[in-house]
Amino acid sequence: ALPVVEVHLSNIFSREEFRQYSYVSPIAIGVVSGFGPMSYRLGVEALLAHLNG
């Protein structure tokens, strides 16, 4: 399986309750949430760090 980093622009835990459950996070190596557009960059950096050991 390929590693996955779950990314959310907003902080899902400060939003409606139904948005706080994720089907992806149980298999993800990490979650980035709440940093706006910078979340994408942080997610990619986390994935690269994981892949490069």
Confidence of residue 30 (pLDDT cuts 50, 70, 90): very high
Average pLDDT value for the chain: 95
Strand partners, 31: 6
Number of domains in the chain: 1
pLDDT value at 19 more than 90:
no
* Average pLDDT of the segment spanning 17-27: 91
pTM, 2 dp? 0.85
Q: What is the pLDDT of residues 1-18, one digit of tens each?
A: 899 999 999 999 899 998
Q: Domain range holding 32?
A: 5-51
Of the CA atoms within 13 Å of residue 18, those in its CB half-sphere come to: 0
pLDDT at residue number 1: 83
Structure tokens at 32: 């980035």
Structure tokens at 42: 């942080």
